[in-house]
């Protein structure tokens, strides 16, 4: 009896692991997005790219920018619709600041991209329903 119960529990654990990547996503279709982001003609070395939906029922999406490139896979990508685009990039000022939590000194950073491309963005795009390449040359 105990052996039968243990075998049944073992079988349930094994089968639970065979389901792939978890429950199936049932919301609106998401699409992969990738592209290049430059500031004044130069690739952004390190930054952050975000798509904020104009319709709150849609999913936001974002990715790190590395050497001017970003990539968002479909499982984390945006839905079809209109989005605000935000681009953030920071550079060291040459000064050191103390971390409020740890007290450790770190490089002070300043935002190099104007607010019209991030916090007060005027940049928009539309996801058409196919995987997209979106490039932005910010001036």
Q: List C-alpha distances in Å: 108 to 13, 15, 90, 98.
A: 49, 51, 10, 9
Query: What is the chain's mean pLDDT, rounded?
Result: 85
Residue 22 vs residue 73, higher pLDDT: 73
Domain boundaries defined on the chain = 30-138
- Which SS3 state, helix, strand or coil, does residue 116 take? helix
CATH superfamily for 30-138 is: Carboxypeptidase-like, regulatory domain (2.60.40.1120)
Whole-model pTM? 0.75
Specify which residues 8 forms β-bridges with: none
pLDDT digits (tens, 9 = 90+) for 4-48: 333 333 333 333 444 444 445 567 899 999 999 999 999 999 999
CB 129 within 8 A of CB 104: no
Mean pLDDT, residues 67-90 taken together: 97
Mean pLDDT, residues 102-129 taken together: 94
Q: Give residue 83's pLDDT.
A: 98
H-run or E-run covering 13: helix 2-16
Judged against a pLDDT cut of 90, whether residue 52 lies above it is answered with yes
pLDDT band at 129 (very low <50, low <70, confident <90, very high): confident
Judged against a pLDDT cut of 70, whether residue 2 lies above it is answered with no
CB 89 within 8 A of CB 47: yes
């Amino acid at each position: 009896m105990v052996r039968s119960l243990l075998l049944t529990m073992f079988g349930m654990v094994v089968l639970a692991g065979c389901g792939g990547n978890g429950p199936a996503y049932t919301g609106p279709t998401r699409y992969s997005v990738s592209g290049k982001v430059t500031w004044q003609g130069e690739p952004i070395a390190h930054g952050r790219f975000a798509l904020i939906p104009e319709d709150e029922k849609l999913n936001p999406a974002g990715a790190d920018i590395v050497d001017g490139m970003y990539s968002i896979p479909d499982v984390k990508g945006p839905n079809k619709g209109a989005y605000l685009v935000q681009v953030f990039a920071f550079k060291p000022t040459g000064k050191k600041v103390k971390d409020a939590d740890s007290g450790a000194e770190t490089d002070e950073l300043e935002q190099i991209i104007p607010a019209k491309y991030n916090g007060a963005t005027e940049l928009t795009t539309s996801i058409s329903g196919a995987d997209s390449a979106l490039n932005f040359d910010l001036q």
